[in-house]
Structures are given as structure tokens and as C-alpha cells.
Amino acid sequence: MKLKKVLAVAMAAMMTLSVAACGSKSSDEGKSKSGDSKDAKLTVAIWDSNQEAGLKEIMNDFTEETGVEVDIQVTPWSDYWTMLEAATQGGDMPDVFWMHSDQISTYAAYDDILLNLSDKIEKSDKIDLENYPENLVSIYQNEDGDQLAVPKDIDTCAVWYNKKMFDEAGIAYPTADWTWEDFREIAKKLTNPEKNQYGTALKPGTYQESWYSTIYAYGGEVISEDKTKSGFDNPKTIEAMQLIENIIKDGSMPEYSVVAENNTEELMMAGTVAMTFQGSWMIPDLASSEYIKENCDIAPLPKGPNGTKSISNGLGWAASAQGEHTEEAWKLIEYLGSKEAQQKQAELGVTMAAYKGVSDAWKESHPEFNMQAYLDMLEDAQAYPSSKNTQVWYQVLMERMVDGFSGAKPMDQVCKDFAVEMNQFLAEEQ
């Protein structure tokens, strides 16, 4: 734990040095240094290669309209934040880039890293923040209420299931009324180790897609509403995590070593597991699999005592405050956040759109699947649980949950012990 704190402090110190080197210019005063917009070429950083093709098509539309060229650079999630941190320190940030709720507070803590978009949005005829869900808008504001990113998308989670395995076992497909106990029993029935077939696959890294949602469905919480206290010592949170533990003890999952080394979607594509939890952002990847298209479909998340609770999050488009082409970067963000571009993002099946009222088009992008299940999850969605320094306690959470998912420690003890650690981290945020 001490090492984590040291690393966090070191990162903050390095970012402070980077900001100091940039000068004292206010982040909303950046101006294009290109002289002519048509001479500008913007670098755009993302981490999901599955979205690259669709986003390129949308950005080509922007180039045709403005003459400003765009170069999309894909850095996998595992390296993305290291890349962005290094670019921040080196004064060579991408012009436009994805921002995540886990990381926004780190970058928002400094005035000269992210371009302040508030004044630009106020003058825009394309961007009205009322057109996006309030929780997505607020995620990307600093403590002063300045808008540092425009919502890109919104996401929910659902269950993918293998229809062929259900049919062979004589089990009815899941409906909106199924429960977590139903899920557990079905997972048992669909498990046949001799055939290398298992009911499901869960692991610490599937937190947003699966067990975070389970916690809230049981009436628990990851973090208190005021973000001052851990929810992992909440009896209802522990009850939810013990359900996950029981599914593991049932033998309804492959050995933990197998689950740890493979993505759950890969296990499903291989015909190893019958049910997995996937975020809406995974649609392009899953839809590209012939096995998935032939055998699988989508169902809503199971219900718990507190109903159906999908974790909902969304990315934001942000820009460097110290870039060479800040005006052009804003114009690109303005375009990407417009109804026109958001509509096309949905139609192309890139992701669900952040812009209210256009995600029905996303549903039609893959008519072979029950995409409505993801839209239904928006009705009672749970906002992604985070705090000022989510990444600090999140990294420790992932480490501790390995003990619970592998069976090294009882899940209730893992939860209670982590709650103590998390509360220490949260106390330092206040």
C-alpha cells in the first residue's frame, strides 16, 4: 500500500513539473498557432481499435467540411494512460484524446493540462450540454464547474449467452424477469467439464460488466454517495460478492488460472463458456466473430433484491490546453459531440451515443442481436462509482479480489479487509 501511495505522489509531482514548464497561461486561452486551419493536422488518441474504423469515417466527414486532417492513434488501454502521462510530462500531448471517469480528476487538478471548453460550449450552436445525460456532463467538470470534455458515448452492460448450449440443455433463453439465483442455477446446468464447457466466467477485471452491477442489484454499494466511505463492508455488498463466490464454488467456471489468462469474450468465442457479461463497447469485437453471430444473443442483466442495476459510464472528448492547434481541436470536439456525428456513431455501431435520443439507430446497426437489452439497462442504470483518486484504490481492489476469485481467502474477509484500506485512501482525498 505504501508503494502505491509513493507512486501516486510521484506521478502528481511529475505532472506538476510538466505544468510548470508549460507556463501560466489559462487553459481556456489556447489559440491555434497554425495560421491557417487547413494547414493543421490533428492527432487523436484512443484505446479501442474496434472503434477506429467508424471514428475514422466520422472524422473524414469533419475533414471534408473543414479541411483539417485527423490522424487517429490507437494505444491499447493497458498502455494508454502511461502514454498520456509521458506525453503530458514531455509537452507533446495529442491534440484530442479520450478521457475516462477514473482519470479525469488527476488531469483536472491542474489548470494547464486540459483545454477549458466552457466558454467555447456557451458560444457553440452545435453543443448544448442539456442534450447529454447530466451524470456524464458532471463527470468531466472540475471543482469550479469548468467543462473539460464533451461526452462521447454512454455504456451499459448485459449478458451474452450461447443459444446452442441453452437449446441442447433444454433451458429457456433468459428474459427480463430472470434473477441472479436463476443465473447461478442455469450456470450449474450448463457446466460440463468433460466437454470443457462451463456456465460462465467472471474475474476481478470484469468489475464494471458483472460484479459491480451485482453489488448494486443486491442493494450494496462500491462507495458511499458522498464518496467518503467504502461500501465493501456493507452487508448487502458482501452478500452480493458471496453470490459470486458461490458461483465459483459451484464449479461453474473454468479454473481461475484459465480465467485469469483469457478475456471472457475469448472464452465465449471458443465455445468454452455459455454466459458472459459484456459492456456495450464490446459490440464491434463480438459481432466480428462468426461463432458469436451463429450461436449467441444478448439478454438483460439478472435482477437482484434491488432490481436490475447496470453500471453506466461514458467517455469524454478532451483536448490539450497547450497544443499547437487548440482552435482546430475544439472544432473537432464540437463536431464529434454534435447530433450529426453522434447519430452517425450510433448508425455505424461504434458505440451507444451520449447524445440523447439517437441510440435507437445503434440498436439497428446489428439486427442479428438483441441490442435492445443494452438500451433497457439505461432505465435504472447505476452511475459508475468513482472518487477523486479512483485509480489509487482501484489498483489495490483488483489485487485483493484475486484472493477472493481464486479462493485463496473467503470473499467476506476480502471485502472487509479492503474496506479498511479503501477508507484510508478516501480519507486522504478529503
For residue 103, is pLDDT > 60? yes
Provide the pLDDT confidence category of residue 106 given band limits of 50, 70 and 90. confident
pTM: 0.86
State the pLDDT at residue 38.
61
State the pLDDT at residue 135.
87
State the pLDDT at residue 428.
94
State the pLDDT at residue 2.
33
For residue 229, is pLDDT > 80? yes
State the pLDDT at residue 37.
59
Strand partners, 44: 72, 96
What is the pLDDT averaged over residues 82-109? 93
Selected from 3.20.170.30, 3.40.190.10, 3.30.465.10, 3.40.50.920, the CATH number assigned to the domain covering 2-154+314-375 reads 3.40.190.10
Please give the CATH architecture assigned to the domain spanning 157-309+387-429: 3-Layer(aba) Sandwich (3.40)
Domain positions in the chain are 2-154+314-375, 157-309+387-429
State the pLDDT at residue 110.
86
Higher-scoring residue by pLDDT: 111, 363: 363
* Intrachain domains 2-154+314-375 and 157-309+387-429 with the same fold: yes
Mean of per-residue pLDDT scores for the chain: 90
State the pLDDT at residue 360.
87
